[in-house]
Amino acid sequence: MPAEITRNRYIGAVIMRITGDFTRRLAKNKMSMAGLFVVAALFLTAIFAGYLAPYPPDEINTTNILVEPTRQHLLGTDILGRDVLSRIIYGSGVSLSVGFVAVSISTLIGLVLGAVSGYYSGIVDRIIMRFVDIMLCFPSFFLILAVIAFVGPSIWNIMVVIGITSWMGVTRLVRAEFLSIREREYVQAAIAQGASDFRIIFLHILPNAMAPVLVAATLGVASAVLIESGLSFLGIGVQPPDPSWGNMLTEGKDNIEIAWWLSLFPGLAILITVMGYNLLGEGIRDSLDPRLRQ
């Protein structure tokens, strides 16, 4: 028992040290902190949308159609007199929900397939990787378009479809990490002691293979937000009257000559969101890179 307690304390101390080093390096990166600020602001906006939005997002006012930005409507109104700022605030929740659910699905699939492929190798590895190669042959956006056209547009369908068509990169990352880590001494020692494959995969290898997965997941949220916006812009994503930055851009496109604000502000929301996640992902990658540690 004392030996086990000592080992647990040692593991806890190592984890705390690694976490502290990672946090310190991340805090030194000004660009990554800017990305973290943007992501945190988006989270808070989505959570407290009901308190931050000055008007209900679907409130129609026919007396204020296509009003330019004023004190009453800071970002103007659309063709139905709805407040653009309120719709952008509520749209942040839709876009981030799609991003996180889709990335969670793709990451889970990629972790399982990559772990099985990298650990067992051989025929299992060849079958999985050939399937990955086949999936990569299809342009992802057009594959998503085809599936959405078949199952029908809805926010839940978009989440699932983006998730099940975006796992290939995570699979290859996890496989590469498993191929490297499984040859290390502590893994070989666990195998020699008769540890089960499940224990070796999920307790010995997977925790040490999560660094690139974390980076890929962070960048994947930005990609999912872009895909959702593109689908909504084409009319097969989130359907009106639900606010989405993509379908707001569609309304702006139809009135761009007389209502510039309908295109500018939703486009800026997408730009800032994607840039924030990309900056944060780059900062996490640099902070986890052992070659950059001092």
Q: How confident is the model at residue 22 (pLDDT cuts 50, 70, 90)?
A: low
List the beta bridge partners of residue 228.
Answer: none
Q: Which residues of 241-258 are buried (b: 16+ CB within 10 A; e: fewer)?
A: ebbbbbbbbbbbeeeeee
Residue 210 has pLDDT above 60, yes or no: yes
Model pLDDT, residue 15? 46
**Beta bridge partners of residue 83, listed in sequence order:** 77
Q: Is the pLDDT of residue 69 over 50?
A: yes
Whole-model pTM? 0.81
pLDDT of residue 247: 86
pLDDT of the residue at 19: 59
> Above 50 in pLDDT, residue 148?
yes
What confidence category does residue 14 fall into, taking pLDDT thresholds of 50, 70 and 90?
very low
Percent of the chain scored above 90 by pLDDT?
Answer: 12
Q: Identify the residue with better confidence: 9 or 131.
A: 131
> Which of these, 284, 268, 278, 290, lies nearest to 99 by C-alpha position?
278
- pLDDT value, residue 290: 53
- What type of residue sits at position 282? E
Per-residue pLDDT of 255-294, as tens digits, reads 888 888 888 999 999 999 999 998 888 888 877 765 555 4
Q: According to the model, what pLDDT value does residue 66 have? A: 86
The CATH code of domain 2-292 reads 1.10.3720.10
In this prediction, residue 12 carries a pLDDT of 45
Q: Model confidence over 35-48: pLDDT tens digits?
A: 889 889 998 998 89
Using the CB atoms, write b or e for 179-215: b if 16+ within 10 Å.
Answer: bebbeeeebeebeeeeeeeeebbeebbbeebebbbeb
- Residue-averaged pLDDT of the chain: 82
pLDDT of amino acid 4: 46
Q: What are the backbone angles phi and psi of residue 77, rounded to the nearest 5°?
A: -130, 165
Q: Say what the pLDDT of residue 88 is.
A: 92
Are the beta carbons of 8 and 262 closer than 8 angstroms?
A: no
Q: Which two tokens stand for residue 115?
A: 């772990």
pLDDT at 108: 92
The span from the CA of 157 to the CA of 202, in Å, is: 30
**pLDDT (mean) for 124-132:** 90
Indicate if the pLDDT at residue 18 is higher than 50.
Answer: no
Q: What is the mean pLDDT of residues 29-34?
A: 82
Per residue in 72-108, pLDDT (tens digit) is 888 888 888 899 999 999 988 888 888 889 999 999 9
When mean pLDDT is compared across 93-107, 161-175, 184-198, the lowest value belongs to 184-198
At 208, is the pLDDT very low, low, confident or very high (cuts 50, 70, 90)?
Answer: confident
pLDDT band at 21 (very low <50, low <70, confident <90, very high): low
Determine contact, residues 267/232, Cβ cutoff 8 Å.
Answer: no
* C-beta of residue 180 within 8 angstroms of C-beta of residue 290: no
Strand partners, 23: none
Tokens of 25: 């390096």
Residue 282 C-alpha from the chain's centroid: 13
